[in-house]
Structure 1
Amino acid sequence: MVSTTTKYGILVCVDGSAASDTAVAWATHEAIMRHLPITLLHAEAPVVVGWPVGPLYLDMPEWQKENGQHVIDQARKTLSASLGGSKLPETHTEMVYSSVVPTLIDASRSASMIVAGSQGLGALGRLLLGSVATALMHHAHCPVAIIHSGETAAADSNAPVLLGIDGSPASEAATALAFDEASRRGVGLLALHAWSDVGVFPMLGMDWRDSERKGQEILAERLAGWQEQYPDVHVERLLFCDKPSRWLLEESERAQLAVVGSHGRGGFPGMLLGSVSSAVAQSATVPVIVVRGS
C-alpha cells in the first residue's frame, strides 16, 4: 500500500483560477477515496519594490488578506459542490504571506499528494504549463497531480488508469501509486512500455525482436509483485517500438488518469524532469500524476 500518513493529506494550491477550481474538485474526490484530509493552501506573495530590493510590507496588507480570503472561500464552495452526496472530508485551509513556489515545495514534504491546476491566473491558455505546476513537478517531495480545466467533468469513472513503465526508480514509485489508484477506483490498469526514443524507423544493425523481448521482460519484472499485491486490478500490457510520449498521450485518451515517473531512463536524484513526463503532463487531456524517484 502507498503511505498516506501526512500532516496535510491531499494538499491543493488554490489561486482563484478556473484550473484551480478544477484541481479542488479532483482533489476532493481523491481525499474521499483515500479517506484523507484535504488542505486548501493559498499563498499571497509579498510585494517587492525599490532598491535595495525588499518587501513593501512586512505583514500582509489588508487588501491581500481580503483577496486571499476570497480565494479560500471560493475554493471551499467548489469543494462542497464537488461532494456528489459523499461525506465532507476533514477540511483545512491555510493562507500564508510568502513566495508561492518555495512555500508549496516546503509544504509538499508533509503531504501525501499535492494537486495543482495546470494554469494560474494570467497564463496563456494551455500552450505552456504554469510556472507553479512546472516547479512542483521538478522539486516537490511528494507525487504531483496536474489538472487541466474541465477535466473532472469529462472523466469516465470506468476508464482505466494509464501507467508509464521504463524500469527506473521513479518508474517503480509510479507503479506503486498507479496500482493503488486503480484498485481504489475499481478499474483496470494500462501498463505501457516503449523501448525506443528514436521513432519507428529501424536503425542499421538493430534487432527489433531482441528489443521487444527485453521490453517484455521489463514489463513482466516490474508488474509481477504488484499484480500479486493487487489481484483485483486487471492489467493490460502495452508494448511499443516508438517514442514513449507519443504512445502515452495516445493511450491516455482512453484512460481517466495517467501516472508517470519524473526521471525516466538514466535518471538520477536531482535530475531535471524528464522530457516524457513533461510532455505528458502538458498535453494529456486527463489528470496526470508525476511521481519523483527517491
Structure 2
Amino acid sequence: MLEPFPPKSVVVGIDGSHAALRAALWAVDEVAGTDIPLRLIYIREPGSADGCAGARAAMEAAEQAVHDAYDAINKAGKPVKVEMEIIEGYPLSALMQASESTPLLCVGDTGSGQASPAGFGSTATALMRSAHCSVAVVRGGHSDAPVRGRSVVAHVVGSVDDELVLERAFEEAHRRHAPLVVMTAWRSEFDNLQNDRVLREEERLMRAVLDRYAALWTPHYPDVTVDTVVAYGPFLNYLTDHAESAQLVVIGATQGIEVQQLSSPTADRALGRSDFAVLIAR
C-alpha cells in the first residue's frame, strides 16, 4: 500500500531506464536549493518474479535502479534532498495514487507507445490525461540540440485554466534561464473566414489577452524574456513548426483537445523533431 507523501514532495517514477534517469535529472531543477524533497519511487509489479531467487533478483534490480538515479542526481552537483522508496503495485495505479499528494509528478518517456513511434507510451498518456497533479513527461533521443537557449512554450486559451499554465510556465522559464513564448492558437468559424475585418478583430482581441497576461506576470519574473504569439490553426501545427526551438511545452489539463493531440499519432511530426518535455498544469 502506497503511503501518503509529504505535500510538497516532487515525485519521480523510476524503472531502471535511461528515460527515468532523464526524468530524475530534469526534476532536480524543480527542487534544487529548496527544502522540497525529490522522492524517487520504484514500483515492483506483483508476481513479476518466481521463487525466492527471483524475488531477490527483482529486489536487487529495484535497489540498483533507485541508487543509479540517486548517483546521477549527486553527480549533477546541485543541493537536493532525495528520498527513495520501493513499493509493490502496478505502475499506473501507483503513480495515480502518488499524484493525489504531490504538486508535480515526473516520468520519463521512451516514445514506445504502440500507436505512435515518436509519441508517448500508455502510462505517460494516462497520467497526462487523468493524474490529480501537474505531470511532466520528460523525453529524449530525438534531438542533439543543446537545451540552453531553447524556449518554454505556454499555450493559453483565454480561460481560468490559463493562470495555472502561466504560473508554471513563468516558474520554469525563470528556473531554467529560458525565454518564454506565451501563445494561443485559434480557428475561426467558417463564415468568418471570408471576412478579413472579423478575422483582424479576433486576432486583435486575442493579442490583447496575451499582452495583458505578459503585463501581469512579467513584474514577478523580470529576468524572463517574454514573447507573445497569436497563431492561426491547431496548436499542434505551431508546435511542429517550432519544435526544434522548444525545450518545454506547458498546457492546461482542461485543454482536452491539445492534450489528446499531443498523446496521439498526430503528434509524431512535432515530437519526432525535438525532445521537448511536456508539462500538463493542474
* Same fold? TM cut 0.5: yes
Once the two structures are aligned, what percentage of the paired residues are identical? 26
What letter matches 2:187 in structure 1? S
What letter matches 2:277 in structure 1? P
Matched, 1:23 2:23: yes
What letter matches 2:138 in structure 1? I
User: SS in structure 1 opposite 2:32?
Assistant: helix
Question: Post-superposition shift, 1:190?
Answer: 0.9
Aligned to 1:186: 177
Matched, 1:227 2:218: yes
Aligned to 2:14: 14
Matched, 1:244 2:235: yes
User: SS in structure 1 opposite 2:136?
Assistant: strand
**Is contact 2:22-2:108 (8 Å) kept?**
yes
Aligned length: 272
Deviations 1:215-248 (A, max 9, x none): 1122123333212222221211111112111113
User: SS in structure 1 opposite 2:11?
Assistant: strand
Deviations 1:84-138 (A, max 9, x none): 5524521111111112212111111222311111238896883441111111112
The separation in 1 between residues aligned to 2:180 and 2:34, in whole angstroms, is 18
**Is contact 2:151-2:180 (8 Å) kept?**
yes
Matched, 1:257 2:248: yes
Matched, 1:275 2:260: yes
The separation in 2 between residues aligned to 1:258 and 1:74, in whole angstroms, is 28
The separation in 1 between residues aligned to 2:18 and 2:248, in whole angstroms, is 20
The separation in 1 between residues aligned to 2:41 and 2:157, in whole angstroms, is 34
User: SS in structure 1 opposite 2:120?
Assistant: coil
**Is contact 1:252-1:258 (8 Å) kept?**
no
CA RMSD of aligned residues (A): 3.5
The separation in 2 between residues aligned to 1:156 and 1:74, in whole angstroms, is 25
Question: Post-superposition shift, 1:205?
Answer: 4.4
What letter matches 2:42 in structure 1? H
CA 1:170–1:252: 2 relative to 1, 3 Å = farther
Provide structure 2 residue ranges, at least 5 long, that are not aligned to the other structure: none
Provide structure 1 residue ranges, at least 5 long, that are not aligned to the other structure: 49-55
What does residue range 160-199 of structure 1 map to in structure 2 within 5 Å? 160-196=151-187
The separation in 2 between residues aligned to 1:218 and 1:125, in whole angstroms, is 35
**Is contact 1:262-1:277 (8 Å) kept?**
no
Question: Post-superposition shift, 1:171?
Answer: 2.9
Equivalent in 73, 94, 97 of residue 106 of structure 1: 97
TM-score by length of 2: 0.80
**Is contact 2:113-2:122 (8 Å) kept?**
no
What letter matches 2:260 in structure 1? S
CA 1:221–1:64: 2 relative to 1, 3 Å = farther
The separation in 2 between residues aligned to 1:77 and 1:102, in whole angstroms, is 24
User: SS in structure 1 opposite 2:161?
Assistant: helix
TM-score by length of 1: 0.78
The separation in 1 between residues aligned to 2:53 and 2:102, in whole angstroms, is 29
